[in-house]
Amino acid sequence: MKKTSHLIGILMLVPCIFCIFLVMLYPVVLSLKMSFYKQTLTGLSARFIGFSNYIYLLHSRKFISAFFRGFVWVGGTLTFQTLVGLGAALLLNQKFIGRGFARGCVLLPFFLPGVSIYLVWRWMYNDMYGVINQILLDLRLIGEPIQWLSSTSLAMWALIFMAGWIYFPFVTINVLARLQTIAPQLYEAAEIDGANLWARFVHITLPQVRGVLLVVILLRALWMFNKFNEIWIVTAGGPAGSTTTLPILAFKEAFKVQRLGRASAITTILFILVLAIATIYIVVFQPAKEVT
């Protein structure tokens, strides 16, 4: 009886396993295999070349700079997301009129169609018709229009600001959920003891949200390393490669110059990086623990 019920349970997983195998596991294995081959888009001239693709990459300045640029991208957006996300959560946890509406608005950047949002940002950053320059000019913060997206030193920061704007709601919503579980008595007691706003934040709020913040930062770091669309649609990795991260480099290698083997080697290295973070997350935080 017990054996058959086990069998039914496992059978119910079959469609799910099939889908994941077909569209995720098999392609990953294929990609790993391709990274040891010299292969073009037509796939006819695949030739085994061992670790050559990897060795080539380690000597390629383009690859090395894309690799480290990824850390600037992730570090930059993460800092933005975390600070703004935390601030917004603290603000939205207060009682005020229209709180529901404000909470809804804050989530919007995260849900609106990504491509449309990236395009709007690209337009807003435009040096001739962009509203960002117009606002800064009107406020007399700058004297002449800034070339946000065509400057090699500014383009990455423009992208980081945009991505921070899109993804901070994720931090807000998770922190807000945690903030709502903190007993108000804690704050009342501290207030009676004469603790000011900052002291209450440091000694009550921060220790309480530290756990969730850590998980959120880890997850966001992982996802930010993978981001492709945000950069591709706004700058396509330019100008002069100054916003080319690993996903962009891999895409260009695969679909612009048709070096699928080399592109697979790039994504494999990206995968190892992401896998390391994912392992930390799953081992340390054990998200699958059943609540019983």
Partner 1 sequence: MKIKKLRGTRIAKRALLYLGVVILVLFCLFPFLWMISSSLKTTFELYGAPITYYPHKPTLASYIGLFKNTFFIQWFANTAIVSASTTLLCILIASVAAYSLTRYRYPGRTTFANFVLFVYMFPPILLAIPLYLLVINWRLADTREALIITYIANALPYSLWLLRAFFQTIPIELEDAAMIDGASRWRVIRSIVMPLALPGVIATSVFAIITSWNEYLFAMLFISSEWKKTIPVGLTGFITAHEDRWDLIFSGSVMASIPVLIFFIFIQRFLIEAWGSGGVKG
Q: Within 205-234, which residues bind partner 1 (CB under 8 A)?
A: 219, 222-223, 225-226, 228-229, 233
Q: Closer to partner 1 by CB, 185 or 291: give it.
A: 291
Task: Give yes or no for residue 12 binding partner 1 (CB under 8 A).
Answer: yes
CB 243 to partner 1: min, Å:
15
Where does this chain touch partner 1 (CB under 8 A) — which range of 65-73, 74-82, 124-132, 186-194? 124-132
Q: Please state, in angstroms and rounded to a whole number, the distance separating the CA atoms of residues 227 and 229.
A: 6
Q: Closer to partner 1 by CB, 51 or 123: give it.
A: 123
Polymer length of the chain: 292
CA angle 133, 137, 139 (to 5 degrees): 120
| Omega within 30 of 0 (cis) for the link into 184 | no
Region 261-280 residues binding partner 1, contact defined as CB under 8 A: 263-264, 267-268, 270-271, 274-275, 277-278
Q: Closer to partner 1 by CB, 155 or 263: give it.
A: 263
Region 40-99 residues binding partner 1, contact defined as CB under 8 A: 43, 88, 91-92, 94, 96, 98
SS3 content of the chain, % helix, strand, coil (to 5): 70, 0, 25
Region 233-252 residues binding partner 1, contact defined as CB under 8 A: 233, 247, 250-251
Which two structure tokens, joined as six digits, stand for 97? 């009129």
Residue selected from 79, 134, 152, 258 as contacting partner 1 according to rule CB under 8 A: 134
Residue selected from 45, 50, 61, 128 as contacting partner 1 according to rule CB under 8 A: 128
| Helix, strand or coil, per DSSP, at residue 102 | helix
**Can you tell me which residue has the tokens 């957006």?**
77
Which two structure tokens, joined as six digits, stand for 30? 């294929």
Q: Is 94 exposed, middle or buried (0-12, 13-18, 19+ CB in 10 A)?
A: exposed
Where does this chain touch partner 1 (CB under 8 A) — which range of 47-55, 105-113, 187-195, 202-210? 105-113
Give the chain's end-to-end CA distance (angstroms, integer): 24
Residue 47's DSSP bridge partners are: 38
CB 186 to partner 1: min, Å:
19
CB 50 to partner 1: min, Å:
19
